[in-house]
Chains A and B, each alone.
Chain A
Amino acid sequence: DGGITQSPKYLFRKEGQNVTLSCEQNLNHDAMYWYRQDPGQGLRLIYYSQIVNDFQKGDIAEGYSVSREKKESFPLTVTSAQKNPTAFYLCASSEGHSYEQYFGPGTRLTVT
């Protein structure tokens, strides 16, 4: 079955620690995205990548970093510089930047 996997589903960290969220897709999509979802806020774009070894900042990139070394993988690191890291993080992919986006099941990160 083709799709997007995010792991783990729930993640807990102590304040001051960096944490990396996994996103893998086997849809052979060129573009991948990371969004953050907060209650009542909708989705906000953190980073996106249109091809391997290239990525761009979205609307709220501060305190986050990404890499795109392989087409199928787009991990997101939440650094200790992110002031409010507790949120639901969604990864998505699409054939190209103007095509329909398919979403993964999300990772809920809690930082205490």
Chain B
Amino acid sequence: QVQLQESGPGLVKPSETLSLTCSVSGGSISSYYWTWIRQPPGKGLEWIGSIYYSGRTNFNPSLKSRVTISLDTSKNQFSLTLNSLTAADTAVYYCARGRSGLGGWFDPWGQGALVTVSS
């Protein structure tokens, strides 16, 4: 079965750039939509953006200007870059597989990576 695992720094300074990687095992990344979602402490889930295996991307309009998502099919990984960080970007960041094309559901999810933005 497909499993996802996030990796990256747990602490990032304000104004700097966050880079996270999601490693996919048990299946190929060369299919489906691959997605980043975050959850600030004590708050709800927020979609960040998705990338199709073809390279096509879709982003949350509120984050679009600060986000990049890319695929590395040779490593079966996809990555998130979020720049100009503020304390409001502190959250658990999840990667997930999107099912049934654009607009479907997310399954499975990674375990999540806590990212704190603080000096």
Q: Do A and B bind each other?
A: no
Chain A positions within 8 Å of B, measured between CB atoms, are none
Which residues on B are within 8 Å of A, measured CB to CB? none
